[in-house]
Amino acid sequence: MKILICDKIAPEVVEELKKLGDVVYKTGMDPEELKREIADAHVAVVRSATKLRREILQEAKNLKLIVRAGVGLDNIDLEAARELGIEVRNTPAATSISVAELVLGLMLSAARMIPMAYASMKEHKWEKKKFQGTELYGKTLGVIGFGRIGREVAKRALGFGMKVLWFDVMDVKTDLPVERADFDTLLSSSDFITLHVPLIPQTKYLINSEAISKMKDGAVLVNAARGGVVEERAVLEALESGKLGFYCVDVYEKEPTDNFALVDHPRVIPTPHIGASTREGQLRAGMEVVKIVKEFFA
Ligand code: NAD
């Protein structure tokens, strides 16, 4: 069995996959090389970098299984895979804690202006008065999308003494001391708002000018879900008018982003889509890949 690993995977995971088949581990392949390598592969393992479009999948005559180490399947042509009888699996739970911890980091960064204080110190300034922040304690966090990541964020926010409101289209069962709210109530009652919905037609621009107008003045918005859930143009306007306090963002409408008006705004705290990028998250995702491959061929 040929297992083609197309994106960077933890070495421990590569070793485990070698026990299951003949591993070819090549990252950064151009489409022609990818077509050649995938032609006789039985399993393809990808993260987000490799794009498995129809024209690539059509060359994959032996391919039975694509495993995405991670969540989003936007880099795989799911319709083509289905038509060609190729099963597609992902590892949705492996990186939830990593993303949740980044979200708390971003919230604290905004509350205490840590990135701004850091930049000021690096310029050899001592701007003690400029960086009076706010506490998370006693503030309300609105979690939009109360799935795996949303609930992990809520748990941690409760640890900081925050009140947590959540909104979801599904009836989510939870034992956490949190309160369900409708969308508008969440927007108007929250000091911090964090997004954890997938990007689907119903969530495209969920946060637009109208939604922002319902938020508290000075609210902090965090997006570590997907670019496109937030309308960047509307956020920039709201930052400029002072309506929005901070925008903490890990994901962009276009990646890598070229929206430098957004990135350069002094009250935008940007990271380059690193939510799932932790040693533990990637190892967990990789080990889940191994389990999926094992079970699939058992
Ligand atoms: P999940 O499926 O467990 O939870 C998503 C929740 O959103 C579900 O409960 C669903 O009912 C809800 N939802 C769907 N449509 C909605 C709507 N219109 N309004 C309100 N709620 C809605 O997913 P998850 O594992 O928690 O991941 C959430 C998102 O985080 C993923 O879809 C992915 O886009 C993103 N993500 C980002 C990173 C990163 O690196 N920043 C890493 C992993 C995942």
Q: Which residue from 68, 146, 172, 197 has its CB within 8 A of the most atoms of ligand 1, so it is best to mutate?
A: 197
Per this entry, what is the length of the chain? 298
pLDDT at 74: 86
Residues 248/116, Cβ–Cβ less than 8 Å? no
Could you give all domains of the chain from N- to C-terminal order, each with its CATH number? 2-92+279-297 (3.40.50.720), 96-270 (3.40.50.720)
Strand (E) or helix (H) holding 160: none
Distance CA 74, CA 66 (A): 13
Residue 5, helix vs strand vs coil: strand
Q: Is the pLDDT of residue 72 over 90?
A: no
Please state, rounded to an integer, the average pLDDT across all residues of the chain.
97
- Decide: residue 202, CB within 10 A, 0-12 exposed, 13-18 middle, 19+ buried: exposed
Order of strands across the sheet that contains 219-223: 179-180, 163-167, 140-144, 192-195, 219-223, 244-249, 268-270
pLDDT at 193: 99
For residue 12, give the nearest of 276, 277, 274, 279 by alpha carbon: 279
Ligand 1 environment, Cβ below 6 A: 71-72, 92, 95-96, 99, 144-150, 167-170, 172, 196-199, 202-203, 224-226, 250-251, 273, 275-276
pLDDT in tens, 252-282: 999 999 999 999 999 999 999 999 999 999 9
pLDDT in tens, 154-204: 999 999 999 999 999 999 999 999 999 999 999 999 999 999 999 999 999
Q: Is the pLDDT of residue 38 over 90?
A: yes
By alpha-carbon position, which residue is closest to atom 39 of ligand 1?
A: 275
User: The whole model's pTM is what?
Assistant: 0.93
pLDDT in tens, 105-163: 999 999 999 999 999 999 999 999 999 999 999 999 999 999 999 999 999 999 999 99
pLDDT at 118: 98
Q: Which residue from 99, 195, 208, 278 has its CB within 8 A of the most atoms of ligand 1, so it is best to mutate?
A: 99
pLDDT in tens, 203-253: 999 999 999 999 999 999 999 999 999 999 999 999 999 999 999 999 999
pLDDT at 271: 98
Find tokens 């922002």 and name the residue: 212
pLDDT at 25: 98
pLDDT at 82: 98
Task: Using a pLDDT cut of 70, give the percent of the chain over it.
Answer: 100
Residues 58/20, Cβ–Cβ less than 8 Å? no
Residues 89/292, Cβ–Cβ less than 8 Å? yes
> For residue 175, what are its two tokens?
């034992």
Query: 64-80: b or e for each residue (b if 16 or more CB lie within 10 Å)?
Result: ebbbbbbbbbebbbeeb
Q: What is the DSSP string of 146-158?
A: -SHHHHHHHHHHH
By alpha-carbon position, which residue is closest to atom 32 of ligand 1?
A: 198
Residues 267/240, Cβ–Cβ less than 8 Å? no
